[in-house]
Homo-oligomer: A and B are copies of this chain.
Amino acid sequence: METWDAITSRRNVRQFDARTISDADLDRILEAGRRAPSARNRQPWDFVLVTDRAQLGELSKVWRGAGHVADAAAAVALVTADSDDERSRSVAQYDLGQCTMQMLIAAADLGIASGHASVDDQDQARRVLGLPQDRIAVYILDFGYPADRRLKPIVNPDRRPFDEVVHRGRF
């Protein structure tokens, strides 16, 4: 798919149909994440791929807003080192955001929709994903084919107007 079509087709989806995602497509999404840029190329991330239905159900309990993960075809937990240093945490968040977007665009390119979930209950995440004590799951991305309509370019996205967001030269 053309890049611009992938960028403009991506939307947050919370209801997926019953189709699974091929291993090749999952690997491509993960590869996109692996290639993301990060400060000093530190790559402060590990990805845990979950496709087992029962495990997806358990994973959906990490946050009250994560119910949609239970019905996804696959989820990727973004895992990073737990840190006491706010500056490190902040940079890692930015880099995880970059990594996320790379995966979501790669998915949209394949007609695969996606959603995000926060992680509130780290103990649950640690149990379900087998994380070491020094790691935390920061976000869960979930993927699948949309239950309603297939992805296609959105002409008028629900966003602040261009001329409000964009300033030329000075704020």
Q: With A and B bound together, what is the CA distance between A105 and B52 in angstroms?
A: 32
Contact in complex: B171, A48 (CB < 8 Å): yes
Contact in complex: A102, B100 (CB < 8 Å): no
Copies in the complex: 2
Q: With A and B bound together, what is the CA distance between A169 and B41 in angstroms?
A: 26
Chain B residues within 8 Å of A50, by CB: 169
Write the nearest CB–CB distance from A16 to chain B, whole angstroms. Answer: 17
Chain B residues within 8 Å of A20, by CB: none
Tell me how many residues of A have a C-beta within 8 Å of chain B: 74
In this assembly, does A7 line the interface, its C-beta being within 8 Å of a C-beta of chain B? yes
Q: Which of A44-71 contact B (CB under 8 A)?
A: 45-52, 55
Contact in complex: B48, A170 (CB < 8 Å): yes
Q: With A and B bound together, what is the CA distance between A36 and B12 in angstroms?
A: 11
Partner among B30, B37, B97, B109 whose Cβ is within 8 Å of the Cβ of A12: B37
Q: Which of A1, A8, A94 has the most CB of B within 10 A?
A: A94
Q: With A and B bound together, what is the CA distance between A60 and B80 in angstroms?
A: 31
In this assembly, does A165 line the interface, its C-beta being within 8 Å of a C-beta of chain B? yes
Contact in complex: B49, A158 (CB < 8 Å): no
Contact in complex: B159, A34 (CB < 8 Å): yes
Nearest B residue to A115 via CB reads B37
Contact in complex: B45, A165 (CB < 8 Å): yes
In this assembly, does A166 line the interface, its C-beta being within 8 Å of a C-beta of chain B? yes
